[in-house]
Every structure is written in structure tokens, then in C-alpha cells.
Structure 1
């Protein structure tokens, strides 16, 4: 059995799977909003409360893995553990729990995301653009099938954008609208750097993975069809939601259809980041992908077990 641990800047995830007749079957999925990257922009450190939340979550994950005959474990740390000055302290504390963490580069993270998204699709020859908005970074990849053509990891995410633009949210609609506009324009400029480098490339489909994309897909789908199953986002619908997103920030009694209460604090930064991406890349519609980094990890873990190699070595060699 395989266990994939994804230590994101917003959430920690655990996926446990078994291999049967050459295919994998998901046995358990766990997810917890740890927000390891919260406050990281202030002093470059994982904050004490986030540090403790992270270790508590890893203890729960260790207990969950003990309930299964797991033979292969891979834990991957992403942006927060890449940039925090005290990440070595967290890695050491995790090792004491029996969990050794590989901190991957932004490009390696992007490769894992793209592989996870692509592995869940039929074999396609068409070009696709894949975006994964995380807590501290966003990965953008263009490729065809399982082949990556261009990879970007950008310093923008829902948690870091919350800390940068919405640490103090105004109490009136006009001011919040101004904050939202400034944050989305800043995001558009960040994504514009990558979009400019890809200006000569074309893609036929766009897919977005992870929590921010799921949140906004559910909100957009609820707006369009009256239910909140995560399907996708259109630029027109996303823009039409601006007033509702602002109201969510200033009216604690307002419930935005499709938005889970646990994601409420991230709807302002999430909306602005996704809008900035879609505008920079001239994306009119995108599909939500339920598969992401963890499925990419599982793919490389299976490859590594076949080659008798560590999965990170397989990833770097591919």
C-alpha cells in the first residue's frame, strides 16, 4: 500500500491507496486546514501556532497510516517549507514522528500537479494548460498528454494573498471593492510574467486543481445551475460574483451559495487570484480537476516501486 502526504501552505492531505492488478484503488483520504503558511510574510517564519497545528495533523496522519499495511510512504513539502527560515526545525520535528519530508522545488511541485491532473484523464493528444492555486504558490504548466512543455511556479497563493491584501478588511462595500480590485490587478501582473513567456503557445483546454479552484467552481456552478457540484469556472460568472464576494466579507450573516463556511476567509484572495490568472492568460472557461499533486505523487510512487527507486529520483529523471 502507498501513502502520499501533501504538506501544502494551506492544507495538509493524506492519500492512502493500494495496488490491484496493476491499478491503484484509493482506500482513504484525509484533509485538514493547517495553514502552515499563515503569517509567513511577516517575518519569514512558520508561526508557533501553525507549527503546532502542523505537527498535530502529522500525528493524526501517522495514526491513520498505522491502521493500514502501508509499505511505501512519501511526504512532500511545498512553498511554506521551501521559504520558511525555520523549516529545518519543522522537518526535524516531523522526523521524530517517523515522517521524513522531501521539500520539492516549485518546478517539481508543478510536475507533480500536472502528472496528477493528466493521470486522471483519458490519453489525450491535445495541448492543455493546468493551474494549481495553492496557499503560498501557484503552479502553471502547459503540456500535451503526460509531456510537460513549459513549467512555472509563481509566488502567489490564497493564504499569501490574504496576508498581503486582506489582513485588514474594510467594513464598507466601496473600500472592500477597491481592495479586491487592487489584489486582482496585482495577481494579473504576477501571472502576466508567465503568460508573456507562453504567448507563442496554444492550448485547447484549461484545468484548475486544488482547494481554491474547487471553492470557486462550486460557487460558480451554484450561481449558474442552482447546485454546488464542482464543475468549472467561466470568466463572466466569476466577474459577476464580485458584489457577492464583497458582501461575504462585510456581512457575517450572508451565505454565498456554494461557499463552505470553512473557506469563507479565503474567498476574497481566492477570487482575486483566479481572476488575475484568467485575465492574464485570456482564459474564458476552465474545468475543475479533482486530481492534483497527491495523485501525481501516487503515480511516481508506483513508478518508483516498479524501478526500485525513491519516487523523488523518478520525478527528477522524468
Structure 2
């Protein structure tokens, strides 16, 4: 079955058109992503800004045109942290409705479940104790899977767009600020690990921070999904990239091979979260998943 899955996140809006067979992505027909920063100012105002809504609707218009060209069997769009926290989500949902799209605003548990289904569609985790994490713009999802105990997930309101509002990442990073940021990050991750009671053998990261790290580590000038998915990057290399990026302005970061435009500021808090997690659980190799929520959503659409 050919389906179209749209993931409306706090930082980016992403489309996947795919052929799905059972619980697997048989063929990826088309992918597209726009960084629309829908979650900007959510911390202070709890409102979606007019400009971010406009950027998102513009992206959705393009997606609808593409979806119609591909003649898909089913379409579904979901929105995550920024929209579920906003006091004015109807401004976005009404605009999407005019395009013929109904947006489902999903909770953190549903989001975590879709991420798990997406990641496991692209990486074999059978028989392993796995901790997955997905760093979004407004929240971060953690999913722990144990072959003997089953699966549990948790969503926390810690995301890279929110963190970028609190600190200035446009300039060379003030490392005193970074030390202050580590305290709340450590505290939140500590709560997650205690709640999930996890002792993983494997750590898998999805979403823009891990995939950008992989692209930078391979010095990609053109993003290659097949090379990124499953790529393993050790913590020493992650720290090397982190230190290098912190020593640059956001404009200079755009010249780094593998850096996606629009991610030059939020990549810093994203790497901070990933690095702290790795140190806390004692796993020093990060496996990267290019698959995530939208792939999980595509599987869910096809199996309704």
C-alpha cells in the first residue's frame, strides 16, 4: 500500500511517501523536509506565531501537491510537542483543513510508540536491550525495549528549539552557559532512566541531531539516507564535533560538510543531550537511525 505520512514537529515538517508491506517500509518513494521552527517562542508565549504557522502551511501546500502527484492510497498528518502545548493550535489545523489535510495532535506516549515502530523498521533490534531517543524541537522521547520485559516509553518537555530560546547559540558558545545547561539536562535524563529502569546494551538516536552528526562525521555534501541509517559514531568523535561547533558562530557552522541549514544553532543543545545520555548510561557508541516518527506513522497508516 502506498501511503503519505506527514510529521509536523516543533522544528521541522517532514513528508514520507512510501510503499508499506506488513510492518516494514518496502520502498521509499519520496521524502521532503522543511525547517519551519513552528515551536519558536512556545516557552515564553505558549502561542504558535503567525510567521511560523505561515511557514508550516507553505510547506504543507507543497506536500499536498506532491501527494496528489503520487496518487497515494492513504494520507495522515500528525503534530507533536509545539502544537499540543500551544493555546492556539486551531490556527494551524484550520489552515491545513483548507488544504484538505486533517492534523491529528498526538500525545507523548503515542509519539514514542510511532518512533519505536519507525526505528525498528530500519534497524534490527531483535533480542537486544535497546534504549532509543528522539530529540525534537519541543520534547525528547525515550523508548526502552527489553526482550523479556517488553517496551516502555516516556516523553519529556526538553527540546532543542526550547533550549535555543534560553541560550544564545548564534555566537561562539560561552562554556559557562554550557555548564549551567548541563544541570537541568542531567536532572531530566536521570528521572527518565530511573522511571524506565533501563540497562540497555544498545543506544539508538533518531531525528535531526544524530543524523546531522552522522552526516558531519562522513563529511557529506549530499545527504545519503542509506549511509546514515545504522551508522555508528563513538562518543570521542561526538565530543570532537561538539567542541568544534561550539568554537564557531552559527554562520561558520553552515560551512561544515553535513550541516543542514536551519540546524546551525539547535545542533549544540542536541549534541549536549546526546552526550550527557551516553555518559550517564555508560554506552559510548551511538547508532544512528534515519527512520523515526514519520516511518512509524506510515506503518500505522497502512495497518489501520
Specify if TM > 0.5.
yes
1:236 counterpart = 2:236: yes
The alpha carbon displacement at 1:275 in A equals 2.1
Matched residue, 2:126? 124
The answer (yes or no) to whether the contact 1:248–1:256 under 8 Å persists in 2 is: no
Matched residue, 2:222? none
The alpha carbon displacement at 1:247 in A equals 1.5
Normalised TM-score (structure 2): 0.87
Deviations along 1:144-167, one digit per CA (max 9) or x if unpaired, are 47x952211011111111112237
The answer (yes or no) to whether the contact 2:137–2:160 under 8 Å persists in 1 is: yes
Matched residue, 2:265? 265
1:214 counterpart = 2:214: no
1:146-295 mapped onto 2 (5 Å cutoff): 148-166=150-168, 176-199=174-197, 201-222=198-219, 230=228, 231-249=231-249, 252=252, 255-295=255-295
Normalised TM-score (structure 1): 0.84
Alpha-carbon distance change, 283 to 19 in structure 1, aligned in 2, over 3 angstroms: closer
Matched residue, 1:46? 48
Matched residue, 1:225? none
Alpha-carbon distance change, 246 to 295 in structure 1, aligned in 2, over 3 angstroms: same
Q: Which has the larger radius of gyration?
A: 1
Deviations along 1:264-309, one digit per CA (max 9) or x if unpaired, are 12222222222232233333111001111111111111211xxxxx
The answer (yes or no) to whether the contact 1:16–1:26 under 8 Å persists in 2 is: yes
The alpha carbon displacement at 1:25 in A equals 1.9
The answer (yes or no) to whether the contact 1:232–1:285 under 8 Å persists in 2 is: yes
Distance in 2 between the 1:13 and 1:254 partners?
Answer: 21
3-state DSSP of counterpart to 2:303 = helix
Alpha-carbon distance change, 272 to 249 in structure 1, aligned in 2, over 3 angstroms: farther
Deviations along 1:56-78, one digit per CA (max 9) or x if unpaired, are 11111111111021221111111
Matched residue, 1:309? none
3-state DSSP of counterpart to 1:248 = coil
Deviations along 1:90-144, one digit per CA (max 9) or x if unpaired, are 1122112110011110010000001111122336111211111111111000114
The alpha carbon displacement at 1:20 in A equals 6.9
Paired positions, count: 296
Distance in 2 between the 1:216 and 1:68 partners?
Answer: 32
The answer (yes or no) to whether the contact 2:41–2:165 under 8 Å persists in 1 is: yes
Matched residue, 1:313? none
**More relative contact order, 1 or 2 (CA 8 Å, 6+ apart):** 2
Alpha-carbon distance change, 277 to 30 in structure 1, aligned in 2, over 3 angstroms: same
The answer (yes or no) to whether the contact 2:53–2:92 under 8 Å persists in 1 is: yes
The answer (yes or no) to whether the contact 1:7–1:77 under 8 Å persists in 2 is: yes
Distance in 2 between the 1:165 and 1:148 partners?
Answer: 38
Distance in 2 between the 1:292 and 1:43 partners?
Answer: 29
Distance in 1 between the 2:56 and 2:156 partners?
Answer: 23
The alpha carbon displacement at 1:221 in A equals 4.9
Alpha-carbon distance change, 128 to 22 in structure 1, aligned in 2, over 3 angstroms: closer
The alpha carbon displacement at 1:83 in A equals 0.2
The alpha carbon displacement at 1:241 in A equals 3.6
The alpha carbon displacement at 1:257 in A equals 4.8
The answer (yes or no) to whether the contact 1:9–1:159 under 8 Å persists in 2 is: yes
The answer (yes or no) to whether the contact 1:221–1:233 under 8 Å persists in 2 is: no
Q: Which moved more, 1:258-267 or 1:125-134?
A: 258-267
